[in-house]
Amino acid sequence: MTFRHSKPQDKQPLHILAQEKGLTLFNKPPGVTTAAEVGHYLVHRLDKGTSGVLLMARTLPMKKALEALFKKREIKKTYVALIKGKHRKSEGTIQNLLTKKGAYQGQTLYGSAKTGQKAVTHWKILEQRKGHALIELHPETGRTHQLRVHMAEMGHPILGDLQYGREAVFPAEIDRLCLHAYRLAFKHPETGQRIQATAPLPKIFKL
């Protein structure tokens, strides 16, 4: 087994992708814990190792409105990941129940079970490469570690996942979790305008 840990990163201001009435969409780098920027409120989170689009509210009323959109699944999320191995199918859906399954290196692990929270992920292979694949993921639900668990349980852990892919051997150049929140799309809760923000793929995804 080969383990590589993400390089520590200093706290830095997040790059702004877009700013609309009452809200801001940021591009979070990997290795940074999700935290509210000055003058903002969190409405959702990304795992520390995950990069990409992060939505924050600038007022409490907007915070409540955006949280309601997430709860009603009216905010469409698109992720891109590098997964280990080649996939025989080009697209599909994985659906199961997720629950806590213990811990590893001080962090809670989740897995499928007969009882738990419903988790649904739609996926599509974008490109097959030597020993790994670039995959697009559309989570219908937003369970903790959902995408990481689903990929691992399909037998294709996300490159750099030292929790759910801890038994896998990753390429030496992988020094982060290769999961990226690529796009968020939704209707502005006040204006009705369609909002869409995309965070460019990091260079490591061109491996």
Specify which residues 27 forms β-bridges with: 15, 53
DSSP run (H or E) holding 153:
helix 146-153
Round the CA-based radius of gyration of the chain to a whole number and report it: 17
Q: Is 47 a catalytic residue?
A: yes
Question: From CA 36, how far away is CA 39, in angstroms rounded?
Answer: 8
Alpha helices in 32-125 (DSSP H): 60-71
Residue 137 burial by Cβ neighbours in a 10 Å radius (0-12, 13-18, 19+): buried
Amino acid, res. 180: H
Question: From CA 194, how far away is CA 207, in angstroms rounded?
Answer: 33
CA nearest neighbour of 110 among 147, 155, 135, 160: 147
| Pairing verdict, β 179-187 and 76-84 | antiparallel
* Catalytic residue, candidates 10, 47, 161, 175: 47
Q: Which residues are catalytic?
A: 47
